[in-house]
Structure 1
Amino acid sequence: MLAPVNPSTGKKLAEVESLTAQQASIEIDKANAAFPLWRDLALEQRARYLKSVAAAMRARKEELARLMAEEMGKPWREGLGEVEKGAMCAEYYADNAAEFLAAEELASDASHSYVCYQPLGTVLGVLPWNAPVWLALRFLAPALMAGNTCIMKADPNVPGTARVLTEAFHAAGLPQDVMINLPLETPLVGDVIDHPGIKAVSFTGSSNAGKKVAARAAAGLKPAVLELGGSDPCIVLADADLDKACDVITLSRMINAGQSCIAVKRLIVEEAVYDKVCDMLYERFTALATGDPLIADSQALGPIARRDLQLGLHDQVTRTIQAGARCLTGGDLPGGEGFFYPPTLLVDVKPGMAAFTEETFGPVLAVIKAKDFDHALQLANDTEYGLGSSIWCGDPQKGEMATQKLQAGQVAVNGIVKTDPRLPSGGIGLSGYGRELGPHGIREFVNTKQIWVA
């Protein structure tokens, strides 16, 4: 059984029966059987279905937002925005897939040679709890528009959200079994990956879990895209617009109560403005509060999604303070019901401390002092992760230099690191491999076929 818990109250929600391995295998066979018809549909027809999906999602956006608030604690306003972003992703690929998948003429010794992009078959998406609608669409929209059928394995925390999202796909008139939801307990994921009908895997989650998924997929010689954790650095130089930088850094760290892979986690500040930036962040952090995510107009942070995650985050904060960092605000494990955690500002953090080396998945910001620009780059790259990174500076040349020297899958200059359907997203190192979104994302799960005609 899938047994979700409301993280705002700590109380159990309605349990959902999990499929057995045999039942999951039958569902995969159904998606395989649906593949030829979906593959052979014209792109224009698939695009019409995806646009209908977007409309069906918007029609149920309040229900989806409520379920996300109840199942994983996402604030109501953020949930509504997430549904809209997912709908936009469906529309983006509906509008652009034909261009992204167009055959490419390449000169050779043939009279005619080119590359075409054809779907692989049934693709499995193993998805997390922290953005259950957006991350589902980030997987589903390009894979479906490429002509694949899709199996969605949502996180056990969010079975209700997954069910209603699937109902929206079906309400859009999508052909039978083209998109299937598997309510499945996590230990059975390996068996699903092994199924001969699964031709590729998309996984979003922790680095440790990603290693297991990668090994299982590789054992079957199945391509995989892995979007994993991050310890994302943000550099602030002395000539930056400090007010704007602190506003955006606070927003980045607090979205979804800090439970975002691409949020700022390590803030590296040039020493000339270090104390000033710490003071400015203290003002912003102490103005924040936690509260019920179902209150529509509230600006409060929601809870951490699970008790074990809350306790793990507090352990990281405690170990960082014990190692010599100072906690300016937050850092206390709250009493009462629910799994809330206060906005926490840790300063004088140094390499080797928990908040520097580990991914902190919650509203905790580690602030590190850098001597100068080169030292800041060195500190930023002192990590096994490589998902997102950013820099705030007034010198365009330093900003451009940072984009080339920061070791990450995406870099933002004087702005927030975010995912955008138009741009590829992904990481290196412990943050994974492969790319989602943009023209690159739709080509991850296709056969790049060379054609040579004498």
Structure 2
Amino acid sequence: MTVLRLKSGTSWSDTYARCVRAAPEAFTSDRLLNLVRGEWRPVGTPGEATTPLDGTEIPGPPRIDVDEAHRAVAFAIAEHGRWGAVPLDERKARVLAAVESLAEHRDLLALLLVWEIGKPWRLACADVDRALDGVRWYLENIDRQSAGRVPLPGPVSNIASWNYPMSVQVHAELVQVLAGNAVVAKTPSQGGFHCLTLAHALMRRAGLPVTLLSGQGSSLADALVQAPGLGALAFVGGRANGRRAATALADLGRRHFLEQEGLNTWGVWDYSDWPTLAAHLRKGFEYAKQRCTAYPRYVVQRALFPAFLDTYLAVLASLRFGHPLAVADPADEFPALDFGPVIHAAKAAELRAHFDAAIAARGIPLHRGDLAAGSFLPDFLPDQSLDAYIAPSCVLNPPASWALHHSEPFGPLDSILLVDTESELLAAMNAGNGSLVASLATDDLDFAARVAPDLLAFKVGINKPRSRGDREEVFGGLGASWKGAFVGGDLLVQAVTFGPEGPDEKLYGNFPSYSLYPPR
């Protein structure tokens, strides 16, 4: 039996020591600092955190109070005015310097994502690379994108989720800065704060007007959402918090783009290309489906269920999961995993409880995976915690009363619904009241053309999945999955600048008073 060990040089103590050496202004030997009022300061109460990999205690985010947050925002507002007067060529040079510095520390940023949020190495590197490649594209296009436009009247406030700290949050901030805005960002409470601290230390060194603070979102909302003088709010998170933010913004007339959860679905109808679908399904399990464009729901034509089930179960059997740093020899390459843990032990327990609740209400337990199939470190680290790990599971025909019948699990817990008519398929695929993406697997392209326009999803794939997209591709959501301006490509710059019409400019988006949707 092969004994697995931790890859050489990747322990948490080694990783944190590298952070202290790389950015001593932001990391001390035992705590993180907040980047407020232009400097890294030991303000806020250091939090407690554990890594999902094995339960190791790591420094948590230093949570500040709302008064300190207001002071930080006030400084950012003043800095915004100065930054908006900096010529575009100078802004481009400083953003490029930040990108090059981030690229130099790419492996350390990726390793922090492995430890903090459980991403396998390949996916952690992809998160960093996607952020940097995306910003390079904006550097090449910003002259055209910003022509005739001016920065917002105040900085952009960023409240983002923990799952993509680099390719979503840092990427967006760098584009906002490039467009002439100062930015204020909050570290997610559940993870990613070490990676963001290192990234913002490098961004600040390049002379960029960035603020990074930690704290409970509900406590800091008065400063980060409603403070007078802010120019826009960029939010990525759940519907409950997004709804509160939208309500707070209702009377402010402030630019906003609020990405919220959605129950993304695959519909399978009159279909025969099972090997192609199998490849899509397998890739869909990357990072344990902890992303906004994951597909946790399959709506399948009843007559096709035997063939779908053979395909789906074979995919589950092929998945590789476990500790992202477990290798047979400490000098080996990083393991090629589809996913590691979910974000924390409480989330894993919640998913197990959802599975049990579905079965108790007469759902069919189609599959319940076993952690014994994963790769862990019992001999090397006998006391490691596996509480944040969960094997893939699936419920067939979950009851309508199930908590996840209308919302996303954000983990490897799937559900399958069997249908007999097109109307049933549409109703089941639209159960989540709006989503970011949906897909149809079908040999009948006329059927796809007829059904796709009635799906409550911003992007619809025909025999392929859809993703968030950047650069030339617009991103948004329909229904309750999105509020405010759509982003992606030129629209991201438009959302954080004013055109000749000023504040009255109409943007593509999902607004209460009007909706302008570009082609899907």
Q: TM-score, structure 1 length as denominator?
A: 0.89
Whether the 8 Å CA contact 2:114–2:120 is kept in 1: the answer is: yes
1:343 is aligned to 392
Whether the 8 Å CA contact 2:358–2:399 is kept in 1: the answer is: no
The unaligned stretches of length 5 or more in structure 2 are 1-45, 327-333, 373-383, 503-520
Whether the 8 Å CA contact 1:50–1:91 is kept in 2: the answer is: no
Q: Which amino acid aligns with 1:199?
A: G
Deviation of residue 331 (structure 1)?
A: 5.8
2:265 is aligned to 233
Q: Which amino acid aligns with 2:442?
A: C
Whether the 8 Å CA contact 1:388–1:411 is kept in 2: the answer is: yes
Q: Secondary structure at the match of 2:457?
A: coil
2:66 is aligned to 21
1:385 is aligned to 434
Whether the 8 Å CA contact 1:60–1:168 is kept in 2: the answer is: no
Task: Pick one of 424, 427, 443 that aligns with 2:494.
Answer: 443
Task: Pick one of 69, 80, 84 that aligns with 1:35.
Answer: 80
Cα separation, partners in 2 of 1:438 and 1:397, compared to 1, 3 Å: farther
Cα separation, partners in 2 of 1:53 and 1:420, compared to 1, 3 Å: farther
Say yes or no: does 1:145 pair with 2:178: yes
1:130 is aligned to 163
Q: Secondary structure at the match of 2:222?
A: helix
Q: Which has the higher contact order (CA 8 A, sep 6+)?
A: 1
Deviation of residue 16 (structure 1)?
A: 4.1
Pairing 1:75-94 to 2, within 5 Å after superposition:
75-94=120-139
Task: Pick one of 149, 155, 159 that aligns with 2:188.
Answer: 155
Say yes or no: does 1:224 pair with 2:256: yes
Q: Secondary structure at the match of 1:377?
A: helix
Cα separation, partners in 2 of 1:138 and 1:405, compared to 1, 3 Å: farther
1:292 is aligned to 323
Pairing 1:34-183 to 2, within 5 Å after superposition:
34-103=79-148, 116-156=149-189, 157-171=191-205, 173-175=206-208, 178-183=209-214
Q: Which amino acid aligns with 2:240?
A: N
Q: Secondary structure at the match of 1:409?
A: strand
2:353 is aligned to 315
Following the alignment from structure 1 to structure 2, what is the Cα–Cα distance between the partners of residues 216 and 189? 13
Say yes or no: does 1:359 pair with 2:375: no
Say yes or no: does 1:419 pair with 2:468: yes
Cα separation, partners in 2 of 1:410 and 1:45, compared to 1, 3 Å: farther
1:204 is aligned to 236
Deviation of residue 96 (structure 1)?
A: 2.1
Following the alignment from structure 1 to structure 2, what is the Cα–Cα distance between the partners of residues 102 and 51? 19
Following the alignment from structure 1 to structure 2, what is the Cα–Cα distance between the partners of residues 134 and 231? 22
Whether the 8 Å CA contact 1:47–1:95 is kept in 2: the answer is: no
Q: Secondary structure at the match of 1:404?
A: helix
Following the alignment from structure 1 to structure 2, what is the Cα–Cα distance between the partners of residues 261 and 398? 27
Deviation of residue 250 (structure 1)?
A: 2.8
2:281 is aligned to 249
Whether the 8 Å CA contact 2:300–2:416 is kept in 1: the answer is: yes
Once the two structures are superposed, residues 73-131 of structure 1 have per-residue CA deviations (whole angstroms, 9 ceiling, x without a partner) of: 1111110010000111211222223323334xxxxxxxxxxxx4542321100011111
Following the alignment from structure 1 to structure 2, what is the Cα–Cα distance between the partners of residues 248 and 168? 37
Following the alignment from structure 1 to structure 2, what is the Cα–Cα distance between the partners of residues 145 and 397? 44
Following the alignment from structure 1 to structure 2, what is the Cα–Cα distance between the partners of residues 397 and 43? 49
Q: Which amino acid aligns with 2:237?
A: G
Cα separation, partners in 2 of 1:66 and 1:367, compared to 1, 3 Å: same
Q: Which amino acid aligns with 1:135?
A: V
Deviation of residue 350 (structure 1)?
A: 5.5
Cα separation, partners in 2 of 1:53 and 1:402, compared to 1, 3 Å: farther
Q: Which amino acid aligns with 1:139?
A: A
Once the two structures are superposed, residues 363-397 of structure 1 have per-residue CA deviations (whole angstroms, 9 ceiling, x without a partner) of: 11211112244432232122223221111222333
Give the count of matched residue pairs. 435
Deviation of residue 183 (structure 1)?
A: 2.3
Q: Is 16-25 or 306-315 further displaced after alignment?
A: 16-25
Following the alignment from structure 2 to structure 1, what is the Cα–Cα distance between the partners of residues 274 and 254? 47
Whether the 8 Å CA contact 2:159–2:186 is kept in 1: the answer is: yes
Q: Secondary structure at the match of 2:62?
A: coil
Q: Secondary structure at the match of 1:4?
A: strand
Cα separation, partners in 2 of 1:303 and 1:45, compared to 1, 3 Å: same
Q: Which amino acid aligns with 2:308?
A: V
Whether the 8 Å CA contact 1:344–1:364 is kept in 2: the answer is: yes
Deviation of residue 266 (structure 1)?
A: 0.9
Q: Secondary structure at the match of 2:500?
A: strand
Deviation of residue 267 (structure 1)?
A: 0.8
Deviation of residue 7 (structure 1)?
A: 0.8
Following the alignment from structure 2 to structure 1, what is the Cα–Cα distance between the partners of residues 144 and 192? 34
Q: Is 374-383 or 228-237 further displaced after alignment?
A: 374-383
Task: Pick one of 1, 6, 10 that aligns with 2:55.
Answer: 10
Whether the 8 Å CA contact 1:318–1:331 is kept in 2: the answer is: no
Q: Which amino acid aligns with 1:369?
A: L
Q: Is 73-82 or 397-406 further displaced after alignment?
A: 397-406
Q: Secondary structure at the match of 1:174?
A: coil
Q: Which amino acid aligns with 2:490?
A: P
Following the alignment from structure 2 to structure 1, what is the Cα–Cα distance between the partners of residues 279 and 80? 47
Q: Is 225-234 or 28-37 further displaced after alignment?
A: 28-37
Q: Is 200-209 or 393-402 further displaced after alignment?
A: 393-402
